Every structure is written in structure tokens, then in C-alpha cells.
Amino acid sequence: MLKFMLKRLFVAIPTLLILITVSFALMRAAPGGPFTSEKTPPPAVLENLNAKYNLDKHIVVQYGIYMRDLILYQDFGPSFKYQDRSVTEIIEGSFPRSAIIGLWSFFFIIIIGIPIGIWAAVKQNHWQDYSVMSFAMSGVVFPNFVLAPLCVWLFAVKLGWLPAGGWGDGQFNYLILPIFAMATSYIAQVARLSRGSMIEVLSSSYIRTARAKGLPTSIVLWRHAMKPALMPVITYLGIAFVGLITGSVIVDQVFQTGGIGQHFVQGATNRDYSLILGVTILAGALSILFNAIVDMLYTALDPRIRY
């Protein structure tokens, strides 16, 4: 396992460097700049701003300065829009909020999506199966950009049961609607994936052999079928987890949670190079990390992969 982790680390470092380099080059290649807008400052002011943030230097020099600060000081650079805060401070302030909502969402995805998917597979072509699949299709039809405004209208405006938005110092009643809007479509996808994978495993020859030997259904299901059935689910959850804890743009905007998801759009709209790059690096690093975790979980689910 240690050898595997070291190997993934050696692959992760150049992958992250390539991500940073390509993102840096693409942002600088886009026309305009962080200080060019409908009300562009006078040329003298613009020249001073570019000099202050090293934008007047060659792109290679800018890249070298950025990488030096990132590696030596873990500094993502200054924000061109929020000039009273650095990108590091913005991420430190907003990422924990997105992570809390994402972790709660992930928890409900696990405890709801996988069990009902397996239940539907065991009860294939019965009313339980049809009910789960109806819910799953509803989750696909109503993604979070449709579900979030509906939740605000119904539970906050119409019924007055829950706050319409805000963070509220992380109180759970402020988190219920964002978590519901975030998790519903993922629960539906996980339920469909769990059902399909379990049906495929239950039709395997070794499962038929286990049943022919007279093993109880519970033993066949939990000891022999569960681990291989979870393989595609784990793959999907590894990708989904990064999206959950880095926040959803729609959920952040509708519920005004102050999460990091809104900075994806705001950074692009404001041409805030450092903010876009900081959020991109965070998402990229988390993607690489959780892909490695998923690979390690594979070895726990299927011992053949170790060899």
C-alpha cells in the first residue's frame, strides 16, 4: 500500500503542475484584464495597477513569481476584485461552509442512495423497484438549479418553515434546504447506479452457485454480492464528493451561503486571475486526492486488484 501511495504521489505532483500551468496560460491568453471594463481607469492609473500586481511583466516572469509564492508561502496571490482580502483568506473563509454542506449531503447520499438502490435491485420488477426508479427519475428531471428555487418558494416563502437563505452561524435549520437541493439529484444517481450494479452482480455465475448451495439470501447479498456491486458506485462517489465539498454555484447563489462555489462565477466575471486559479488548484488537488482514495478502496472491495 505504501508503494502504491508513493507512486500516486509522484504522478499527482506533475499532474497538478500541468493543471496550474495550463490554467495560468489560458487566463493570461484571454483578451482584456482584471482592470479593463466598461469604466476603464485612466492610462496612468492602469499602468500603476499593472505594475503593482506584476501584470506589466512577461508572462513567464509572472508565472515564476506566482509559483514561488505558492510553493514557498502557500500564497494564492492577491484578489483583484476583493482588494482588502487575499485569495487565501477568501478560500479559508468560504471553503469550510461549502465543506460542511457537502459533507452533510454526502452523508445522506450514502445512507439513502445506496440502500434504496440495493433494495430496488433485490425487489426487481416489484412495486419497491418501481417506486425507487420513479424517485430516481424525478431527481434527474429536477436538478438543483430547478429544485433550489422551488425549495425557497415552498418551504421558506409559502410555508415559512425554514429560512430562505443565509448562513446563520451554521445552524442546521439554515443548512436543510441547501443540503436537500444539493443531495437530491446525487441520491437519485447513486440509487440508479446501485440498482443496476447489484442486478448485474446478482445474475453472476458465482452468485447462482452460492444460492444453489443453499446459502441464505442475506449471506449471499451482504457477503458475496455487496462488495463487487459497490465498485461503480465508489467510482461515481469519488468524483461527486469533490463537487459536493467545493460547493455548487447554484446552491451558493440561491441560498447565499457564502460558499466557495460562487467564486467560480464571480472570479470569471471579474477576470480575477488569482481567485480563479486558487479555486481551480483547490478543486484539482481534491480531485487527485480522492481519485487516489477511490483506487485504494478498490483494493479493499476486490482483492484481485492488489495483484
**pLDDT tens digit string along 140-161?**
777 778 888 888 888 888 888 8
Amino acid in position 63: Y
CB 129 within 8 A of CB 202: no
- Chain mean pLDDT for the chain: 84
Residue 293 has which C-alpha cell?
482514495
CA 197 to chain centre: 23
Residue 57 CA to residue 130 CA, distance in Å, equals 62
What mean pLDDT do residues 67-96 have? 84
Residue 291 CA to residue 205 CA, distance in Å, equals 30
Angle between helices 87-108 and 261-269 (to 10 degrees): 140
In this prediction, residue 261 carries a pLDDT of 80
Provide CB contacts within 8 A for 115, sequence distance 6+: none
pLDDT grade, residue 270 (50/70/90)?
confident
Return the residue matching grid coordinates 495550463.
22
Residue 116 CA to residue 101 CA, distance in Å, equals 22
Check pLDDT > 80 for residue 1.
Answer: no
pLDDT tens sequence across 276-304? 888 888 888 888 888 888 888 877 777 66
pTM of the model: 0.83
| Residue 38 or residue 143, greater confidence | 143
pLDDT grade, residue 24 (50/70/90)?
confident
pLDDT tens sequence across 176-193? 999 998 888 889 889 999
What is the radius of gyration, based on Cα positions, of the chain?
Answer: 24
